[in-house]
Amino acid sequence: MLAIVDGSLPCPKPSDESYGLWVQCDTTVHSWINAILSLTVLETLLNHECETVSHAWNTLERLFIDYSVSTMHLKHKFQNFNKDNLTMEEYLQQLESLACSLIAIGKINNVATAPIADVLGLN
């Protein structure tokens, strides 16, 4: 089954005798993957109209790589955020905005504890 997921066993031609079994395995594994996804991720995946489990798997991989890069960028920006020439109000607003973004993706629990948790290396 892993060969179907990773694409190393491509779909045979419909005239091939193994076609029916391949489609059955592909459909089964595809439903297993769909069953464990959050609704948000599942909706995103369904929008990509993946025809095979291999296509779905590769789409998920790209989505989570993009997500990981965005997460790392946000965390880096948050950790290295400086007041510079900002007023205190601007600084706190921008810091809160970064913290809210990190909360939205589940990287910190709430705005009040975000700076402390980050300094302590808890996030």
Determine the pLDDT at residue 113.
55
Give 68's Cβ-side CA count (13 Å radius).
6
Determine the pLDDT at residue 116.
56
More confident residue, 94 or 24: 24
Average pLDDT in the 83-107 region? Answer: 82
pLDDT exceeds 90 at position 62: no
Determine the pLDDT at residue 118.
57
φ and ψ at 68, to 5 degrees? -65, -40
> In the chain, what are the helix, strand and coil shares in percent, each to the nearest 5?
65, 0, 35
**Amino acid found at 9:** L
Mean pLDDT of the chain: 83
Q: Where are the domains of the chain?
A: 1-64, 81-123
Residue 55 contacts residue 34 (beta carbons within 8 Å): no
